């Protein structure tokens, strides 16, 4: 129960559920769906009441690199899991070069329940000659275009000048 903690005592503060349990999908923009006669459709009565039959979840939903040394390259992996009931395709809109970000992945369809890895790479570099006090913040939303929506993956880093 959400009313009591693990010891059986009444909770003092409210439990904040993750967005995937609340039924919300943060950082998404729905696409205008065009009916595709070739795409496979599921017509099972038990799934007929469920609204969201397609989609991807990003694990983790945001990337924070922390403080980076200028001139070095850093990388991390984000898992993109197909939580729908059909195979689905996606593509990543590469960030502009001035951000220093690059996304490496294997294109192709992703079967239901499977996942792909996106490798997020950042070259820590500072543009402009202004004095920022030793730290410059890099922040960008990577756009991942799927068949039904556009996912936004926020990436943040601080570059030590």
In the predicted model, what is the mean pLDDT of residues 10-38? 66
- The answer to whether residue 3 scores a pLDDT higher than 70 is yes
What is this structure's pTM? 0.69
pLDDT (tens digit per residue) in 117-144: 999 999 998 776 555 567 888 899 999 9
Q: Find the helix or strand (DSSP H, E) in which 142 lies.
A: strand 135-146
Q: Are 53 and 79 in contact (CB under 8 A)?
A: no
> What average pLDDT does this structure show over 148-157?
91
**Which residue segments constitute the domains of the chain, with CATH numbers given?**
59-160 (2.60.40.10)
Evaluate whether 55 touches 75 at the Cβ level (below 8 Å).
Answer: no
| pLDDT tens-digit map of 42-63 | 555 444 444 455 688 999 999 9
Which CA distances in Å does 57 have to 45, 83, 111?
Answer: 25, 7, 13
Q: What whole-number percentage of the chain has pLDDT above 90?
A: 40
């Amino acid at each position: 129960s959400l009313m009591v903690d693990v010891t059986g005592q009444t909770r003092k503060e409210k439990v904040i559920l993750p967005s995937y349990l609340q039924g919300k999908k943060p950082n998404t923009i729905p696409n205008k769906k065009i009916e595709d006669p070739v795409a496979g459709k599921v017509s099972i009565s038990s799934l007929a009441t469920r609204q969201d039959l397609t989609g991807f979840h990003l694990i983790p939903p945001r990337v924070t690199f922390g403080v980076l040394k200028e001139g070095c390259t850093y990388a991390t992996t984000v898992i993109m899991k197909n939580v729908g009931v059909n195979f689905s395709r996606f593509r990543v809109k590469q960030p502009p070069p001035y951000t220093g970000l690059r996304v490496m992945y294997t294109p192709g369809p992703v079967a239901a329940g499977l996942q792909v890895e996106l490798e997020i790479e950042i070259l820590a570099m500072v543009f402009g000659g202004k004095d920022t006090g030793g730290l410059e913040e890099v922040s960008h939303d990577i756009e991942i275009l799927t068949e039904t929506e556009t996912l936004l993956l926020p990436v943040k880093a601080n570059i030590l000048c």
